[in-house]
Amino acid sequence: MKTDAAAPQAAREAPEKAPATAAKAPAESAAPGHYVQLGLFGVEANARQAAEALARSDTPGELRKQVSGRKTYWSVVAGPVKTSAEQELLLKKIRGLGYADAYAVRK
């Protein structure tokens, strides 16, 4: 997975639905809670591919569009879950899907 490490974390966030696929697409949600970020992408198609991987694993998630200056980024997060213990389990699951750089975040 390739992420853009230079992307600012304080970028404005706007959840966006992933495209409909044969698998259930990640749900759009503004729910507060514990999430796991799979990655931050500079290429929308790569972010959508990660969101579709979540859908295939029956894991709820979001594709978020972030704009910073003239640059647009997309982040993919799994969740939300209610507790930090559930978040740790979700993190293990996401890493097991091949997203070794995934990390815990709160909304």
Between residues 40 and 32, which one has the greater pLDDT? 40
Furthest-apart CA atoms within the chain: distance in Å: 38
Q: Indicate yes or no: pTM above 0.85.
A: no
As a whole number of angstroms, the distance between CA 35 and CA 72 comes to 21
Mean pLDDT estimate for the chain: 82
Whether residue 4 is contained in a domain is answered as no
- For 55-73, the pLDDT digits (tens) are 999 999 999 999 999 999 9
Give tens-digit pLDDT for 3-22.
444 444 444 444 554 443 33
Task: Compute the distance between CA of residue 103 and CA of residue 107 in angstroms, rounded to an integer.
Answer: 13
Would you say residue 5 lies in a domain?
A: no
Residue in 27, 22, 34, 2 with CA at minimum distance from that of residue 99: 2
Q: How many domains does the chain have?
A: 1
With residue 85 as reference, give the H or E element that holds it. Answer: helix 84-96
For 35, the domain range is 13-106
Query: Residue 23 maps to which CATH number?
Result: 3.30.70.1070
Distance between alpha carbon 4 and the CA centroid of its chain, in Å?
A: 14
Q: Write down the pLDDT at residue 15.
A: 54
Residue 80 lies in a domain: yes
| Residue of 86, 81, 88, 48 whose CA lies nearest to 64 | 48
Q: Picking from 14-23, 47-56, 96-105, which range would have the lowest pLDDT averaged per residue?
A: 14-23
Let me know if residue 78 belongs to a domain.
Answer: yes
